[in-house]
Structure 1
Amino acid sequence: MRAQIIDGKAIAQQMRDEVAVEANALAEQGWQPRLVSISVGDMAASELYVRNQQRSAESAGVQFEARNYPEDISLEQLTGVLQGLNGDPRVNGIIIQRPLPAHIPVKTLQKAVHPLKDVEGMHPASIGNIVYNDLALGPCTAVAAVEILKTLPLQMEGLNVTVIGHSEIVGKPIAFLMMGLGATVTVCHHMTRSVAMHSRAADAVFVAVGKPGLVTGDMIKPGAAVIDIGINRVDGKTVGDADFDSCAEVAGWITPVPGGVGPVTVATLMKNAVLATRMQKDHYRDSYARTDV
């Protein structure tokens, strides 16, 4: 029996519907959720992402503004832009589009975004909070991948999970998120001696490396879940890190690429936008509420 294909678009639509209810409730209280997207220079590489984010935002009741700055903008100027957005109560979330010019390090910009407006979950504070199982604004791709797994009829407590890839914004956060749910997690990377030995023992495999066809069917335990986070272009097609056909013959569930983790990642961004708006509303209330009445 072939694996059940996980419909990321359907999961994302349900998330957006729930987010829209929250967004409308906040708007009625004077807190319309609003995102600002920052891109620098040629937008060709990020144009599709921005367009998808804007479309998702509109369907989720979140306002979206895309700003593009010239290629030669200095790091100091761009940091000043972010500081202005941090201090603007009308802006609830900031997105840093990649790639950026070589003279603007992305980590510096991520640190410049206020943690309460870090809807991408990329600020060091947001990443670090996961260690303490504080999931307020987690990194979108990692959170989306775990949310997809949670839709399956699997017991999270004690689940054997293998994460292939240990990046700071995907692999490592997934490992901590799954440990927070009670799973037993193995993390594989380029120095792991036998990735297949670990993946064959797993009830669920997450893969986020950027190598098409890295995970094949003979590396998967029969009936396991395969959550493919990779995005690669091969012969004009978008494919993941798992060889879909061979894995689908063995796995119980598998995410397609495209149409799997990607749509849920964008929906998670909108969920973070609404959550960030609510957190900022509470922050302003607690900071400026009158105490003499």
Structure 2
Amino acid sequence: MTAKIISGREVAENILQDLKKRVDILKKKNITPKLVVVLVGDMKASASYVAQKEKFAVKAGIDSEVLRFNSEISESEILNQIDEINKDDEIHGVIVQLPLPDHISVTKVLNRIDPKKDVDGFTPTNVGKLFLGEETLVSCTPKGIMSMLESTGTDLNGKNVTVIGRSNIVGKPVSILCQQQNATVTMCHSRTKDLNAKLADADVVIVAVGVAKFINGDQIPSGAIVIDVGIHNIDGKLCGDVDFETASEKASAITPVPGGVGPMTVCALIENTIIAAERI
């Protein structure tokens, strides 16, 4: 079996076309969605990711601005900056690019963001609403994953989904989203005992454990759909949490790295910004 490649780039491009139509409607009401990205320090990976966000913003027709600060900025200065963003009615969405320098509390910073502008979906208010099944701004990577599964025509009703990774950013929220579509979800992580047994009856495998090639083809049930969230640079080559070559021989569909979940995460961020503007 040779797996179908689920191209995040292609799915994102299709979604962006629809998002632009929604932006055009807002602009007729004199509302132009605006996203602000707060970037602290000069990490190459963060800068690259921010550049992709700016590119997608242009395609969707929304405004975007990057506020860059050196790594020496104080925690209080960042918190004051977020307060100013919260008060600015022209700004509809804000994200703080992680990681932050050690002297700045991620918890304090995220909690300071107005939940209505929390387009990363990280504030306790939005996480709580997600858990309760209420309307909210959903975390971008989990939201992007669900869009990718939808693009394959997958109906999760009654399906077995195994999620490997329990982070607040991906594993936990994506498990909730799958349960909301009536999937039976098994949560695993790097310390799960007898992981192969947990994978044996999976219809969908979502891997976000943060370890290069943690899962290989021998562990993938024949015909399963595999979503690889990880990205690693090994000897100059990018790979994911899944060994793509062996897994693609067993899976019915699989996301590539790069070009899989990454573009969908950015696309979800743009959509959340538009949703925030639509709710005014």
Instruction: Tell me which interval the TM-score lies in, with the shorter structure as reference length.
Output: over 0.9
Larger Rg, first or second structure (1 or 2): 1
- Counterpart Cα distance in 2 of 1:68 and 1:248: 40
Q: Unpaired segments of 5 or more residues in structure 1? A: 282-293
Deviation at 1:78, TM superposition (A): 0.9
- Counterpart Cα distance in 1 of 2:246 and 2:98: 32
- Counterpart Cα distance in 1 of 2:157 and 2:200: 19
Report the counterpart of residue 75 of structure 2 in structure 1.
Answer: 75
Tell me, yes or no, if structure 1 residue 29 matches structure 2 residue 26: no
Instruction: For residue 193 of structure 1, give the secondary structure of its aligned residue in structure 2.
Output: coil
Deviation at 1:71, TM superposition (A): 2.1
Report the counterpart of residue 245 of structure 1 in structure 2.
Answer: 245
Spell out, residue by residue over 1:90-148, the C-alpha distance to the aligned partner (whole angstroms, 9 max, x if none).
Answer: 01110111221111122211111100000111111111111112252111001111221
Q: TM-score, normalised by structure 1?
A: 0.93
Report the counterpart of residue 232 of structure 2 in structure 1.
Answer: 232
- Counterpart Cα distance in 2 of 1:157 and 1:39: 40
Question: How large is the RMSD of aligned CA atoms in angstroms?
Answer: 1.1
- Counterpart Cα distance in 2 of 1:166 and 1:43: 25
Report the counterpart of residue 112 of structure 2 in structure 1.
Answer: 112
Deviation at 1:266, TM superposition (A): 0.5
- Counterpart Cα distance in 2 of 1:51 and 1:134: 32
Report the counterpart of residue 124 of structure 1 in structure 2.
Answer: 124
Instruction: For residue 211 of structure 2, give the secondary structure of its aligned residue in structure 1.
Output: coil
- Counterpart Cα distance in 1 of 2:156 and 2:44: 40
Q: Unpaired segments of 5 or more residues in structure 2? A: none
Structure 1 residues 25-34 or 248-257, which shifts more?
25-34
Aligned positions of 1:85-234 closer than 5 A: 85-234=85-234
Spell out, residue by residue over 1:210-230, the C-alpha distance to the aligned partner (whole angstroms, 9 max, x if none).
Answer: 111111111111111000001
Deviation at 1:41, TM superposition (A): 2.3
Structure 1 residues 201-210 or 36-45, which shifts more?
36-45
- Counterpart Cα distance in 1 of 2:149 and 2:258: 17
- Counterpart Cα distance in 1 of 2:79 and 2:251: 46
- Counterpart Cα distance in 1 of 2:40 and 2:212: 29
- Counterpart Cα distance in 2 of 1:273 and 1:117: 8
Q: Is the 8 A contact 2:35 2:91 kept in 1?
A: yes
- Counterpart Cα distance in 2 of 1:266 and 1:51: 10
- Counterpart Cα distance in 2 of 1:110 and 1:218: 40
